[in-house]
Chain A
């Protein structure tokens, strides 16, 4: 694609982003449609969001979103008045100790995964085929989101029981054999599902669980490919270039497609740039704009985007009718990447735990 054509796509994407910004702010800060949290918060601001937020850049007028605001109730304070009559889900993050952070959701997880579905190649994720969801269950968004993805594509989703909070507890106790036993328990469930004649062709898995499943199948003289799986999207924990390469070259083989994803309960799901040998397994993610945005910002100025190729901290924005997050500092860092033909806005590569937190954070437990 020529630079001019890409520039035109970028300009169009920016127009859509500005429009999404205006609509979202209007929705969340209007007395008729906004949620109690933001309407209350509006009184503290020295600006009027309804008048003074006209572009994405204007979101910098808001203070950074503090994820602590999501801890504890009442959860209804996050439900926009404009959606008050809808059934509400609540999804949690964290929570090994203390009160978890909660996000209320109505249909965002469906919309996010329907949009994501549009990026999946049908030849590797055949429509109508059944899915395996090999990730956390319980009060997590992933389980219902992946299930909806399967249904949206005409399939049925088979799930496992997996409680990551228990795994974190075992790790904190230093109970390595307990962690191994729990991982075996989860993988055994997956192997049983795959062996039960359910015609499963697609899967979501975290990198660690996919690795464990593939090795377990090899121990049984089989493989992911032989089990019938053709396409996998993976995420939920750190997905490194080395693991990507190992996965493609050794774990899965050439006939199983895998695509990395990056996301969380607040933002939704960022897609990986389609695999290109020229990238040398570098993984670049693009947020689902205009519903969510990823910026890579300076470590000492969260309102300043780093130059392309430079390292910075991940800053997330969510702008849907259900949730407004005007800049949340994620616990990750990475390198800012240029727009891509398929995703004509900034991306991020090399995502990894933010170096200031890395030493004290338990990551990638499942």
Chain B
């Protein structure tokens, strides 16, 4: 049996508490994971300053080279894992087995992570807007335009309280090591695979192991990471996001409520964009915060919903190893049933129609003994009023909502990604000014098409560093 230790500043630690992580279909143990305890994390974090000291012995450029090497190792090498090893194919099989994500989607996420690592220099150049990177190391320096700038790290380590259900989120922490900040990872209970594989890839690429901690464990471990790291990210639902709202130390990532918005100038050509819409809803089995959960337009909404339902409705689960497997499984007992019941209740509201049912040839909820699927669902809403008009679920689900263009920005609420199909300059200006939209696409861009040179839910540079004044000589007289 594969046994995975706790990692304490690069040292493996065998705990008295171990959890078995199991195959979601069979219940068979895939690995034993050693669990940390909160006090152990708090004890370790007393030494977090050392991580940054160690990393600053390398230049950011050197660390970017290591990240490139780590990308290849992560994607292609058989790497040590606990008391065994893991090939890339095994990684995908194990990740699929414990998270319910089809293997080809695991491979897709792996490719995405490797891409970000491989392009670290470009990513950092983009995120720092071309700042000479030694300024981040030294704390201050002169830009080529002759201006003294200073960036002060706000933490020695970044804590990551990671989820189980969305392996795509790992791209967010890839730049941390190259930025000379240590990494403290609390993996999701079903997804220890990426943190451990990435740790090993970085280590084999030359990054000292002493700058990493990996702490599997219960909720108290996540709380300890959040408490002791001066900067941390956590992934969860709306309550998690609300709990940490306004806390400068914690970046909480939750549902995205990402949407496609049609401008009146382009909505009559909606048929041209069916592929764009379908893929935005359906990619990664609709599990991402960047998956589209709402398509808003002032007219043709019935036809759009019908066309999407015809495309997505018939899709049914396939085995996880099938390269065309379209749907991720729900592996938490009762979760799919509860979501299904909630949808059934919400579609009873006036003005709401489920359009996909007639194309599905079966129930939305496909129950198995140990897991479930929810099949793609397309809803039509005649107005923005019903609760289901602006919601998000962890499967391919979309509400096509009728809404006047002039009301859209104010009624969409917080939206992580808005892909706006318009050439209307006036409306584009309003969209650019809308502070409730995080990532804005104006043009034919799927919501799931991210450019990793762009910030995601805030720029990680701004999260980890503070721009401040620094002078080592008097300023010019004035």
Contacts and interface: CB of A to CB of B under 8 A. Distances in A.
A and B co-occur in one complex: yes
B263 to A, nearest CB: 40
B46 interface: yes
A251 B243 CA distance: 31
Chain B, interface size: which category?
10 to 19
B46 A218 contact: yes
A242 B243 contact: no
A245 B17 CA distance: 11
Interface stretch (B35-43, B57-65, B155-163, B192-200): B35-43
Chain B binding surface, main DSSP class: helix
B239 interface: yes
A241 B43 contact: no
Given A176-B243, A180-B227, A246-B40, A241 B16 contact: yes
Contacts of B37: 240, 242-243, 246
B35 A242 contact: yes
A339 to B, nearest CB: 24
A250 B40 contact: yes
A174 B42 CA distance: 21
A358 B38 CA distance: 19
A281 B42 CA distance: 21
A144 to B, nearest CB: 29
Interface string B250-288: 000000000000000000000000000000000000000
A215 interface: yes
B17 A242 contact: yes
A246 B243 contact: no
B126 interface: no
B39 A243 contact: yes
Contact of B39 (A176, A215, A219): A215
A174 B17 CA distance: 27
Contacts of B11: none
A246 B39 contact: yes
A240 B46 CA distance: 23
A13 B35 CA distance: 39
Contacts of B15: 242
Nearest to B43: A250
A215 B47 CA distance: 13
Interface in A168-189: 174, 176, 180
A199 interface: no
B223 interface: yes
A362 to B, nearest CB: 12
Contacts of B39: 211, 215, 243, 246-247, 251
A215 B17 contact: no
A280 interface: yes
25 contacts: A174-B239, A174-B243, A176-B243, A211-B38, A215-B39, A218-B46, A219-B46, A240-B16, A240-B17, A241-B16, A241-B17, A242-B15, A242-B16, A242-B35, A242-B37, A243-B37, A243-B39, A245-B16, A246-B37, A246-B39, A250-B40, A250-B43, A251-B39, A251-B43, A280-B16
Interface of A: 174, 176, 180, 211, 215, 218-219, 240-247, 250-251, 280-281
Interface of B: 15-17, 35, 37-40, 42-43, 46, 223, 227, 239, 243
